[in-house]
Structure 1
Amino acid sequence: MTTASIKAIKVSASLSLAILLALSFGWEKPYWAAIAVIVMATTENYSHALHKARQRIIGTASGVVLGFVLLALFGQQRELFLLSELILGGFAAYMSARSRHAYAYRMAFIVALIIALASGLSETFSFHLAVLRVQETLLGVICYSLVFSLFWPEKKDPNVVPRQVILSQAEAGLRVLKFIVVTLVSWMIWIYLPMPGGFMFPLIAATLGLSIIEFPHHYLNKVLGLVYIWACIVLTQYVFVLPLLDNGWQLGTFYFVNTFAVWRLFPKDNQLPMRILGGQFLVLLTMNAQHLRPVFDIHSSLQMLLFLSVVLIIIRFVVYFVDTFFVVSGEVKIE
């Protein structure tokens, strides 16, 4: 059996196990555990995955605390909350370019926003979300570690640390500027246009913006194309396949087969975006099927696809204009 097939089997088993265990525990958002598996599976090897898992756990715990602080201080003041989001997100964007612990900074900010905005700025519901987020993250890490330790185990080298490119202060400053512009534009659209879904749109804009502002604008064109390709594949199965499954093992098999296909068809390093988008779209666009009482409503999935499309278009143009302006002005060189 090839190395690519072994890796695909282990990732598929980890993701399916995480979803099924979360459902058996009665947890509401199994896709959080699945995303933790996907994030670990996009690393170079098992040692790197464990390193990233530690950063994810540290970032999640820090983000929970930060989220409650934001709610306590600015939960009833939208303008001050937006200002604090810009400051904290800008700091996370800067550290993502200048620190060896970039992933932990990003996770802390993303989890803090989820705790605050996904709860509708409600402290009572946010505590429930915080506990659930920590539980789901730990479950994903445990499932991944367990499967990769028991099946075709790899040797762990504690001295191996993933390569982290440290950028210049000017390049880090550009990331901060891009994040601030993307966040401000998204909030203005949400405030002045009748966007559905509560705080979901600004939440997606801030978290996605922080994650992909590092990519050049021409690369984001390809990302947008991949979004629609994966959306068509996943939504077709969501409409015609998932409603026919009525047992837990069938649901687990569905995620196993699809995850295996993604990792087996795109095993190369330069195909990493295909694996990330394929895995995350698989679990996010079918999240309603992961409830204890599954819901097969295409409208929520299409709404999320709309949000993702609008946010990606905003990020693409912001990255293009910022990079073009600073290249032309000669203030910083973009590689």
Structure 2
Amino acid sequence: MVSERCKLPLKVATALSLAIVGALWLGWDKPYWAGFAVVVMSVTETTGHSLRKGRHRLVGTLIGVISAFLFVGLFAQEPFIFLLTFTSFAACCVYLMANPRTGYIWTMTLIVCTLIIVMGHFSAELTFTVAVLRLQETILGIVCFTLVFSLLWPASSRKVLHSTLLSFFVAQQRNIEKTVAGLEGRGERGQGLGFGDGLKFLIRLEDLLPAAIVDSYHISSEAKTWQLFLAQSREWALLCGHLSEASELLEPAMVNSEQQEIQALLIRISCRFASAEAALCGTVTNDNPIPEVITLRDKAIYDPQHHSALLQLEQVLNALDLLSCNMLKTLCAALTLDTLETLEMAVISNPHSQFAGLDLEQLCQALRAWVIIWICIGLWLFVPWTGGSTVALMGVILGSAIVSMPFCDVKMVFRNMVGWSCVILLQYVFLMPLFSEVWQLAAFYFLNCLAIWYWFSKPQQVLSRMLGTQLLIVMTMGAIKLQPVYDFQGALLQLFLMSVVVLIVYFVNYTLFSSLPERVFLRHIKWLYYLFAWQLRRLNFKDKKEHWFSRCIGLIFLGQSPLRSVMLMEQAIARIDWSRYPEVDREQVTGIISRLYALTLRLISLHDGYVGWEPKSIPPQVATLLADIVTSLSDVIECTGDIESLQLHEDKLDQLQVHLQQCVKNVNSDSVLLLSLNTEQVLYLFRVLAAIKLIIRDIKRLDKQVSSAKLSELEYNYFSL
């Protein structure tokens, strides 16, 4: 019986040995390229992820081959133009590497294009030969990997997907219980259904679903249904955030009279999720209660703020009730269970297809990679040493790889590189020259790969596994040629050149828009103020035409969602060594992240409320007032920082809420608002006013938290060789 820890090392070692021996048997000159394909595809969670990565590797290889042909054919006689266009192309590839869906395609595009250009020496015949050989080796590596991983203990993405969904529905049932307790006053307010948990599940689902579609017939045959479920999960995460937002505005005593209705609604949702849990376990169930609309607005007390909060709570709860019913139907349809009626397939908009502006951190990564490549090219051109072109090649490969990894510890990479190189070079010098049969070569790679992947099997040791296996191939590549060459000096030269490149990457990575987690955190907390201000300015309450140039510039550089920056900041604080900053309280910094998540949700709620009404039907006085408040708020966030001036706008919003509630209660029957707004628009206007007030409140709290957290201490850090 093979243990779980041994299964993956055995599969990787078998696929690697098979790929290298297969390339030698076919008479191909560079078998290590097939080995690289196996190693990279192995560092994934499931077989579906691996097959998807193999597909992306093949597509990236084809694009890289075409790109290399274009560069050589168009700019072979123009060195400066060639270097300028190639480095710009490399920077664009590094920028696109951060895309979770297609990033690996652009990684392979850059690597293959650089390899063909450097190894082809601008010769048309040699460039074509290298390109064809690279394509052949890549296909061989993918075939060997697929064969081994499909036959030996396949890890299906479908099982992992079902396990993730199961844990989600179980967690949501617990959160519903906490939400009920919070509304009753028995638990802490703000716990239960929230934006954060739904967002984490959504990110996980977006990663697993494409992989499961690749390696599971059951998932791929119902791909449209699963995409519908993914869209519903996005809506669920957003509605959970709106629920926590509405509960913050309410006092526990306000919902006592509606406890039975709210409890019944939440129990219906919990029953549906229990049915979903049973369906994932293979149990047939028909327990999907029919949604029932609850009405809280008629029981609201006179306080305008509480009235708007209760209206928002009513709207969100009814939406959650209906959505949970539809999610259960969609899930059962995706699992091909016929016990429940299925939903009609709707057209789903893909959020990834919409242009969301340039990403700040990706721009910094692209700039650092561009500088690293130019430095390596300068060393190649102006320093007379052996293997100069290898410096440029390694500068592109290592530079793009390290720069594109967030918070990569370059010193740890260097230590791993030197340590593995020493171990492998000892075998290369004293053991490999004794080999005389191909089975001995296969056994060498099998045993070494097995040892590396067995002893470094923990998830946090993935970088050690990758570096160890790739250096095993790189340092011994002379021995796996068609005519073996044991060049110890050449191997040492490679190690020296890699060390030089890593040193260059180290200095550039930590000086130019530093990738240290402290610097990333500080950089994005400043950038978020501009993003928040731009998001507010995009809500044009006056329906005023903006100049097309300023609108385009703002969309390109400030159009990204603040959520991406907040998530990156959350990752950064997990990587900071807080022992170096005793004066900074980590709990306070974590509170800032929570406040930024809340502020991001407020902006989403404000946008949803705004698009729900017809701005042209709003009285001009109201539109002008809202426009002035939002403009002033964006100016305070971006420029002045005068938080005290926001109190005046809060008072104006309170007056508008009082007037609006009087219209709803028919106290002021002659009001312009009552004549120009219908009931649905009144609800959306309530939502807009509540969102603006919550944004002002969160801005005040955020300002106090940032002031008391002593974040300036994070600016004083150091790095050393």
Please give the range of the TM-score, normalised by the shorter of the 2 chains. Answer: over 0.9
Matching residue within 308, 322, 331 for 2:512: 322
Q: Secondary structure at the match of 1:161?
A: helix
Query: Separation in 1 of the partners of 2:85 and 2:377?
Result: 13
How do residues 208-227 of structure 1 correspond to structure 2 at under 5 angstroms?
Answer: 208-215=398-405, 219-227=409-417
Where in structure 2 are the equivalents of 1:148-163 lying within 5 Å? 148-157=149-158, 160-161=209-210
User: Which of 383, 388, 392 matches 1:193?
Assistant: 383
1:122 paired residue number = 123
Q: Give the corresponding residue for 2:54.
A: 53
- Is residue 2:139 matched to residue 1:90? no
Change (3 A) 1:196 1:168: same
Letter in 1 for 2:396: A
- Matched to 1:187, the amino acid is I
1 or 2 for the larger relative contact order (CA 8 Å, sep ≥6)?
Answer: 1
Is 2:402–2:408's contact at 8 Å kept on the other side of the alignment? no
C-alpha distance in structure 2 between counterparts of 1:328 and 1:197, whole Å: 35
Kindly provide the amino acid, as one letter, of the partner of residue 151 in structure 1.
Answer: L
1:101 paired residue number: 102
CA contact (8 A) 1:98 1:168 kept: no
Deviation track 1:26-52 (CA, whole Å, cap 9, x = no partner) reads 100000000000000111111110110
The equivalent of 1:294 in structure 2 is 484
Could you tell me which residue of structure 2 aligns to residue 303 of structure 1? Answer: 493
Structure 2, unpaired ranges of 5+: 162-207, 212-355, 526-568, 573-721
User: d(CA) in 1 for partners of 2:515 and 2:476?
Assistant: 40
**1:237 aligned partner, one-letter code:** Q
More divergent stretch after superposition (153-162 vs 259-268):
153-162
Question: By how many angstroms is 1:77 displaced?
Answer: 2.2
State whether residues 42 and 276 of structure 1, in contact with CA within 8 Å, keep that contact through their aligned partners in structure 2.
Answer: yes
Offset of 1:111 from its aligned partner? 0.6
- The one-letter code of the counterpart of 1:145 is T
Distance in 2 between residues matched to 1:45 and 1:331, nearest whole Å: 35
Report the Cα distance in structure 2 between the residues aligned to 1:22 and 1:324, rounded to whole angstroms.
42
Letter of the 2:449 counterpart: T
DSSP-derived class of the 2:210 partner: coil
Task: Name the counterpart of 2:11.
Answer: 10
Aligned with 1:312 (options 490, 494, 502): 502
1:111-141 per-position Cα deviation (integer Å, ceiling 9, x unaligned) = 1111111111212101000000000000001
Corresponding residue SS for 1:191: helix
* Amino acid paired to 2:500: V
Which residue does the alignment assign to 1:40? 41
Q: Secondary structure at the match of 2:153?
A: coil
CA offset digits 1:84-137 (Å, max 9, x no partner): 121111111111124520000111111111111111121210100000000000
SS at match of 2:449: helix
Unmatched tracts of structure 1, length 5 or more? none
> Structure 1 residue 78: deviation in Å?
1.9
1:137-286 alignment, distance < 5 Å: 137-157=138-158, 160-161=209-210, 169-215=359-405, 219-286=409-476
Distance 1:144 1:314, change over 3 A: same
CA contact (8 A) 1:98 1:172 kept: no
Amino acid at match of 2:503: I
Per the alignment, do residues 200 and 154 of structure 1 end up closer, same or farther by CA in structure 2, a change over 3 Å counting?
A: same
- Tell me how far apart the structure 1 counterparts of residues 114 and 66 of structure 2 sit (CA, whole Å): 11
Deviations 1:255-306 (A, max 9, x none): 0000000100011110001100000000011000001221111111111111
TM (normalized to structure 1)? 0.94
Please give the alpha-carbon distance, in whole angstroms, between the structure 2 residues aligned to 1:151 and 1:215: 31
State the partner residue of 1:31. Answer: 32
**Distance in structure 2 (CA, Å) of the matches to 1:209 and 1:194:** 22
User: What is the aligned partner in structure 2 of residue 111 from structure 1?
Assistant: 112
* Distance in 2 (alpha carbons) for counterparts of 1:292 and 1:67: 26
1:216–1:319 contact (8 Å) kept in structure 2: no
Once the 2 structures are TM-superposed, how far is the Cα of residue 76 of structure 1 from its aligned partner?
2.3
Native 8 Å contact 1:217 1:317 kept in 2:
no
Cα distance between partner residues in 1 of 2:476 and 2:55: 28
Give distance in 2, aligned partners of 1:24 and 1:324: 47
Q: Is the 8 A contact 1:216 1:320 kept in 2?
A: no
Structure 1 pair 167–280 and aligned structure 2 pair: CA distance change class (3 A): farther
- Structure 2 CA distance for aligned equivalents of residues 141 and 68 of structure 1: 24
Question: Does the 8 Å contact 2:32/2:477 carry over to 1?
Answer: yes
* Displacement of 1:211: 1.0
Q: What is the distance in 1 between the residues matched to 2:139 and 2:419?
A: 31
* 1:168–1:66 Cα change, 3 Å: closer
Q: 23-32 vs 104-113, which deviates more?
A: 104-113
Q: What letter is aligned with 2:210? A: V
Contact between 1:179 and 1:213, CA under 8 Å: does it hold in 2? yes
Partner amino acid, structure 2, of 1:283: I
Question: For structure 1, which segment, 231-240 or 97-106, has the greater mean C-alpha deviation from structure 2 after superposition?
Answer: 97-106
**Deviation at 1:195?**
2.7
Q: Is the 8 A contact 1:120 1:198 kept in 2?
A: no
1-structure distance, mates of 2:451, 2:505: 29
Larger Rg over CA atoms: 2
Deviation at 1:160, TM superposition (A): 3.0
Alignment-derived partner of residue 62 in structure 1:
63
The CA RMSD measured in Å over matched residues stands at 2.4
1:311-334 CA deviation, whole Å, 9 max, x = no partner? 111001101002349949965457
Contact 1:98 1:167 in 2 (8 A): no
Alpha-carbon distance in 2 for matches of 1:149, 1:325: 39
Give the fraction of aligned pairs with identical amino acids, expressed as a percent: 36
- SS of 1:100's equivalent in the other structure is coil
What is the alpha-carbon distance in structure 1 between the residues aligned to residue 33 and residue 94 of structure 2?
A: 22
Distance 1:328 1:301, change over 3 A: closer
Inter-CA distance 208–36: structure 2 relative to 1 (3 Å threshold) = same
What amino acid does structure 2 have at the position aligned with 1:130?
A
Is the contact between residue 178 and residue 319 of structure 1 (CA under 8 Å) also seen in structure 2?
yes
1:329–1:26 Cα change, 3 Å: closer
Q: Distance in 2 between matches of 1:61 and 1:328?
A: 35
The answer to whether structure 1 residue 80 and structure 2 residue 129 are counterparts is no
CA-to-partner distance for each residue in 1:197-227, whole Å, 9 max, x for gaps? 2522101101211111034677101100111
| Range that drifts further, 166-175 or 36-45 | 166-175
Distance 1:115 1:41 in 2: 24
